[in-house]
Structure 1
Amino acid sequence: MVRVLLALDDDIPQAHAQTNAIEAMVDTATDAEVYILHVFRDNPEGASVHQVEAVREAKDRLETAGVTVELLEASGSPADEILAHAEEHDVDQICVGGRKRSPTGKALFGSVTQDVILGTHLPVLVCGSEDE
Protein backbone atom coordinates (compact mmCIF):
# COMPACT_ATOMS: atom_id res chain seq x y z
CA MET A 1 0.00 0.00 0.00
CA VAL A 2 1.13 3.51 -0.76
CA ARG A 3 -0.02 6.42 1.42
CA VAL A 4 0.20 9.96 0.06
CA LEU A 5 -0.49 13.31 1.67
CA LEU A 6 -1.95 15.58 -1.02
CA ALA A 7 -1.74 19.20 0.14
CA LEU A 8 -4.19 21.39 -1.78
CA ASP A 9 -5.02 25.06 -1.70
CA ASP A 10 -8.02 26.56 -3.54
CA ASP A 11 -6.33 26.81 -6.98
CA ILE A 12 -8.35 24.45 -9.19
CA PRO A 13 -5.89 24.13 -12.13
CA GLN A 14 -3.15 23.39 -9.58
CA ALA A 15 -5.35 20.75 -7.92
CA HIS A 16 -6.02 19.16 -11.33
CA ALA A 17 -2.28 18.85 -12.01
CA GLN A 18 -1.66 17.34 -8.58
CA THR A 19 -4.58 14.93 -8.95
CA ASN A 20 -3.30 13.86 -12.39
CA ALA A 21 0.08 13.06 -10.85
CA ILE A 22 -1.49 11.05 -8.02
CA GLU A 23 -3.73 9.13 -10.44
CA ALA A 24 -0.69 8.20 -12.54
CA MET A 25 1.18 7.09 -9.42
CA VAL A 26 -1.61 4.95 -7.98
CA ASP A 27 -2.17 3.21 -11.31
CA THR A 28 0.94 1.17 -10.52
CA ALA A 29 0.15 0.59 -6.83
CA THR A 30 -1.79 -2.42 -5.61
CA ASP A 31 -3.58 -0.28 -3.04
CA ALA A 32 -3.49 3.44 -2.35
CA GLU A 33 -4.66 5.76 0.36
CA VAL A 34 -4.58 9.53 -0.10
CA TYR A 35 -5.01 12.08 2.65
CA ILE A 36 -6.14 15.37 1.13
CA LEU A 37 -5.11 18.24 3.40
CA HIS A 38 -6.28 21.84 3.12
CA VAL A 39 -4.67 24.34 5.48
CA PHE A 40 -6.63 27.49 6.20
CA ARG A 41 -4.24 30.35 6.95
CA ASP A 42 -7.04 32.37 8.49
CA ASN A 43 -10.47 30.86 9.06
CA PRO A 44 -12.55 33.19 11.25
CA GLU A 45 -15.83 32.00 9.74
CA GLY A 46 -15.12 28.33 10.41
CA ALA A 47 -15.05 27.10 6.81
CA SER A 48 -14.72 23.37 6.26
CA VAL A 49 -12.46 21.40 3.95
CA HIS A 50 -15.68 20.09 2.35
CA GLN A 51 -16.40 23.63 1.08
CA VAL A 52 -13.17 23.91 -0.95
CA GLU A 53 -14.01 23.17 -4.59
CA ALA A 54 -10.49 22.01 -5.45
CA VAL A 55 -10.64 19.47 -2.61
CA ARG A 56 -14.07 18.17 -3.64
CA GLU A 57 -12.96 17.72 -7.25
CA ALA A 58 -9.74 15.93 -6.28
CA LYS A 59 -11.63 13.66 -3.87
CA ASP A 60 -14.22 12.71 -6.50
CA ARG A 61 -11.60 11.96 -9.17
CA LEU A 62 -9.42 9.88 -6.86
CA GLU A 63 -12.35 7.88 -5.50
CA THR A 64 -13.48 7.21 -9.08
CA ALA A 65 -9.97 5.85 -9.71
CA GLY A 66 -10.44 3.43 -6.78
CA VAL A 67 -8.33 5.32 -4.25
CA THR A 68 -9.29 5.48 -0.58
CA VAL A 69 -9.49 9.18 0.34
CA GLU A 70 -9.63 10.90 3.72
CA LEU A 71 -10.12 14.66 4.00
CA LEU A 72 -8.07 16.60 6.54
CA GLU A 73 -8.10 20.26 7.51
CA ALA A 74 -5.97 22.48 9.67
CA SER A 75 -5.38 26.14 10.40
CA GLY A 76 -2.04 27.88 10.70
CA SER A 77 1.28 27.66 8.90
CA PRO A 78 0.79 25.51 5.76
CA ALA A 79 4.30 24.04 5.78
CA ASP A 80 4.17 23.18 9.49
CA GLU A 81 0.74 21.59 9.15
CA ILE A 82 1.73 19.61 6.04
CA LEU A 83 4.78 18.21 7.82
CA ALA A 84 2.83 17.43 11.00
CA HIS A 85 0.06 15.62 9.11
CA ALA A 86 2.58 13.67 7.02
CA GLU A 87 4.16 12.38 10.21
CA GLU A 88 0.85 11.78 12.00
CA HIS A 89 -0.53 9.71 9.12
CA ASP A 90 2.77 7.91 8.38
CA VAL A 91 2.62 8.70 4.66
CA ASP A 92 5.10 7.47 2.08
CA GLN A 93 5.12 10.66 0.01
CA ILE A 94 3.92 14.28 0.08
CA CYS A 95 2.44 16.01 -2.97
CA VAL A 96 2.47 19.83 -3.09
CA GLY A 97 1.83 22.41 -5.77
CA GLY A 98 4.40 24.67 -7.32
CA ARG A 99 3.84 28.11 -8.74
CA LYS A 100 5.19 29.57 -11.96
CA ARG A 101 8.11 31.85 -11.13
CA SER A 102 10.05 34.60 -12.85
CA PRO A 103 13.42 33.60 -14.36
CA THR A 104 15.14 34.68 -11.16
CA GLY A 105 12.55 33.01 -8.94
CA LYS A 106 12.83 29.69 -10.79
CA ALA A 107 15.98 28.95 -8.84
CA LEU A 108 13.87 28.76 -5.68
CA PHE A 109 10.60 27.07 -4.85
CA GLY A 110 7.80 28.92 -3.09
CA SER A 111 8.33 29.25 0.63
CA VAL A 112 5.77 26.57 1.59
CA THR A 113 7.11 24.11 -0.97
CA GLN A 114 10.70 24.82 0.01
CA ASP A 115 9.93 24.48 3.73
CA VAL A 116 8.21 21.13 3.12
CA ILE A 117 11.09 19.80 1.02
CA LEU A 118 13.69 20.87 3.56
CA GLY A 119 11.60 19.78 6.56
CA THR A 120 11.11 16.10 5.70
CA HIS A 121 13.02 12.98 4.82
CA LEU A 122 10.08 11.81 2.67
CA PRO A 123 9.94 12.15 -1.10
CA VAL A 124 8.07 15.30 -2.12
CA LEU A 125 6.27 15.45 -5.47
CA VAL A 126 6.00 19.06 -6.71
CA CYS A 127 3.43 19.64 -9.46
CA GLY A 128 3.01 22.69 -11.65
CA SER A 129 -0.42 24.05 -12.54
CA GLU A 130 -2.37 22.60 -15.47
CA ASP A 131 -2.42 26.11 -16.96
CA GLU A 132 1.38 26.28 -17.13
Structure 2
Amino acid sequence: MYHVVLGVDEDEEHARATAKEVANLPGDGSETEVTIVHVFQDNPSGASATQVASVRGAKKVLENAGIAVDVTESSGDPADAIIETSEETDADLIVVGGRKRSPAGKALFGSVTQTVILNGGRPVMVTGVVDDE
Protein backbone atom coordinates (compact mmCIF):
# COMPACT_ATOMS: atom_id res chain seq x y z
CA MET A 1 0.00 0.00 0.00
CA TYR A 2 1.28 3.43 -0.99
CA HIS A 3 0.29 6.12 1.51
CA VAL A 4 -0.08 9.79 0.54
CA VAL A 5 -0.77 12.73 2.85
CA LEU A 6 -2.58 15.51 0.99
CA GLY A 7 -2.79 19.00 2.49
CA VAL A 8 -6.02 20.79 1.53
CA ASP A 9 -6.93 24.40 2.29
CA GLU A 10 -10.24 26.25 1.71
CA ASP A 11 -9.81 26.67 -2.06
CA GLU A 12 -12.11 24.07 -3.63
CA GLU A 13 -10.77 24.39 -7.19
CA HIS A 14 -7.20 24.08 -5.94
CA ALA A 15 -8.07 21.06 -3.78
CA ARG A 16 -9.73 19.24 -6.68
CA ALA A 17 -6.77 19.96 -8.98
CA THR A 18 -4.33 18.66 -6.37
CA ALA A 19 -6.43 15.53 -5.81
CA LYS A 20 -6.48 14.90 -9.58
CA GLU A 21 -2.67 14.92 -9.59
CA VAL A 22 -2.66 12.31 -6.82
CA ALA A 23 -5.19 10.22 -8.75
CA ASN A 24 -2.88 10.42 -11.77
CA LEU A 25 0.11 8.96 -9.93
CA PRO A 26 1.41 5.73 -11.50
CA GLY A 27 -0.13 2.47 -10.39
CA ASP A 28 -3.55 1.17 -9.53
CA GLY A 29 -5.66 3.46 -7.33
CA SER A 30 -6.68 0.49 -5.20
CA GLU A 31 -3.06 0.27 -4.04
CA THR A 32 -3.04 3.87 -2.82
CA GLU A 33 -4.39 5.30 0.40
CA VAL A 34 -4.69 9.06 0.97
CA THR A 35 -5.05 10.97 4.21
CA ILE A 36 -6.47 14.42 3.54
CA VAL A 37 -5.34 16.98 6.11
CA HIS A 38 -7.34 20.16 6.64
CA VAL A 39 -6.17 22.73 9.18
CA PHE A 40 -8.68 25.20 10.54
CA GLN A 41 -7.36 28.71 11.00
CA ASP A 42 -10.70 29.95 12.30
CA ASN A 43 -13.68 27.71 12.99
CA PRO A 44 -16.30 29.57 15.02
CA SER A 45 -19.10 27.31 13.80
CA GLY A 46 -17.31 24.16 14.96
CA ALA A 47 -17.42 22.53 11.52
CA SER A 48 -15.58 19.27 10.89
CA ALA A 49 -13.19 18.89 7.97
CA THR A 50 -15.67 16.67 6.14
CA GLN A 51 -18.07 19.63 6.00
CA VAL A 52 -15.55 21.82 4.16
CA ALA A 53 -16.30 22.03 0.42
CA SER A 54 -12.64 21.75 -0.61
CA VAL A 55 -12.17 18.59 1.46
CA ARG A 56 -15.37 17.04 0.09
CA GLY A 57 -14.31 17.90 -3.47
CA ALA A 58 -10.84 16.39 -3.09
CA LYS A 59 -12.26 13.30 -1.42
CA LYS A 60 -14.78 12.79 -4.24
CA VAL A 61 -12.06 13.03 -6.92
CA LEU A 62 -9.93 10.46 -5.10
CA GLU A 63 -12.77 8.05 -4.37
CA ASN A 64 -13.89 8.22 -8.01
CA ALA A 65 -10.37 7.04 -8.90
CA GLY A 66 -10.75 4.02 -6.58
CA ILE A 67 -8.48 5.44 -3.89
CA ALA A 68 -9.18 4.84 -0.20
CA VAL A 69 -9.47 8.18 1.63
CA ASP A 70 -9.26 9.18 5.27
CA VAL A 71 -9.82 12.76 6.47
CA THR A 72 -8.11 14.34 9.44
CA GLU A 73 -8.35 17.84 10.83
CA SER A 74 -6.33 20.07 13.06
CA SER A 75 -5.93 23.66 14.08
CA GLY A 76 -2.82 25.78 14.25
CA ASP A 77 0.06 25.78 11.81
CA PRO A 78 -0.81 23.95 8.56
CA ALA A 79 2.77 22.91 7.79
CA ASP A 80 3.24 21.39 11.24
CA ALA A 81 -0.06 19.49 10.96
CA ILE A 82 0.82 18.10 7.53
CA ILE A 83 4.26 17.00 8.72
CA GLU A 84 2.87 15.46 11.93
CA THR A 85 0.23 13.55 9.99
CA SER A 86 2.85 12.25 7.55
CA GLU A 87 4.92 11.00 10.48
CA GLU A 88 1.95 9.43 12.27
CA THR A 89 0.81 7.60 9.13
CA ASP A 90 4.34 6.81 7.92
CA ALA A 91 3.41 8.37 4.58
CA ASP A 92 5.38 7.56 1.46
CA LEU A 93 4.64 10.98 -0.06
CA ILE A 94 3.35 14.40 0.99
CA VAL A 95 1.37 16.36 -1.61
CA VAL A 96 0.73 20.09 -1.33
CA GLY A 97 -0.46 22.69 -3.80
CA GLY A 98 1.83 25.54 -4.70
CA ARG A 99 0.91 29.20 -4.97
CA LYS A 100 2.65 32.09 -6.64
CA ARG A 101 3.67 34.72 -4.14
CA SER A 102 5.68 37.86 -4.37
CA PRO A 103 8.93 38.02 -2.37
CA ALA A 104 7.18 40.37 0.06
CA GLY A 105 4.28 37.93 0.40
CA LYS A 106 6.66 35.11 1.25
CA ALA A 107 8.42 37.22 3.86
CA LEU A 108 5.18 38.41 5.46
CA PHE A 109 3.10 35.27 5.34
CA GLY A 110 5.62 32.44 5.11
CA SER A 111 4.99 29.41 2.97
CA VAL A 112 3.37 26.17 4.06
CA THR A 113 4.80 24.49 0.97
CA GLN A 114 8.33 25.69 1.70
CA THR A 115 8.16 24.55 5.32
CA VAL A 116 6.84 21.12 4.34
CA ILE A 117 9.57 20.71 1.71
CA LEU A 118 12.34 21.71 4.10
CA ASN A 119 11.09 19.93 7.23
CA GLY A 120 8.89 17.07 5.99
CA GLY A 121 11.56 14.41 6.10
CA ARG A 122 10.04 12.54 3.17
CA PRO A 123 9.34 13.13 -0.53
CA VAL A 124 7.09 16.10 -1.28
CA MET A 125 5.16 16.66 -4.51
CA VAL A 126 4.08 20.24 -5.22
CA THR A 127 1.20 20.47 -7.66
CA GLY A 128 0.02 23.25 -9.96
CA VAL A 129 0.54 26.84 -9.10
CA VAL A 130 -2.48 29.02 -8.49
CA ASP A 131 -2.08 32.79 -8.50
CA ASP A 132 -2.84 34.58 -5.23
CA GLU A 133 -4.63 37.76 -6.18
- The TM tier, using the shorter chain, reads 0.7 to 0.9
Maintained 8 Å contact 1:79/1:116: yes
Aligned with 1:91: secondary structure?
coil
What residue number does 1:66 align with? 66
Give ranges in structure 2 of 5+ residues lacking alignment.
none
| CA deviation map 1:38-80 (0-9, x unaligned) | 0012223311101111110111111111100001101111111
Which residue matches 1:49?
49
| CA shift digits 1:73-96 (9 cap, x unpaired) | 011111111111110011100001
Q: 5 Å matches for 1:81-92?
A: 81-92=81-92
The number of residue pairs the alignment matches comes to 128
One-letter amino acid of the structure 2 residue matched with residue 70 of structure 1: D
- Unaligned stretches of 5+ in structure 1? none
4+ runs of 1 displaced by more than 4 Å?
129-132
Q: CA RMSD in A?
A: 2.2
CA deviation after TM superposition for structure 1 residue 10, in Å: 0.9
Specify the code of the residue in structure 2 equivalent to 1:117: I
User: Partner letter of residue 40 of structure 2?
Assistant: F
Name 1:28's counterpart in structure 2.
27
Q: CA deviation at 1:129?
A: 4.4
What TM-score does the superposition give when structure 1 sets the normalisation length?
Answer: 0.86
List aligned pairs for 1:103-114, cutoff 5 A. Answer: 104=103, 111-114=111-114
Alignment identity in percent? 48
Specify the code of the residue in structure 1 equivalent to 2:27. Answer: T
1:126 Cα deviation from its structure 2 partner: 0.7
Work out whether residues 37 and 73 of structure 2, in 8 Å CA contact, stay in contact via their aligned partners in 1: yes
Shift of 1:131: 7.5
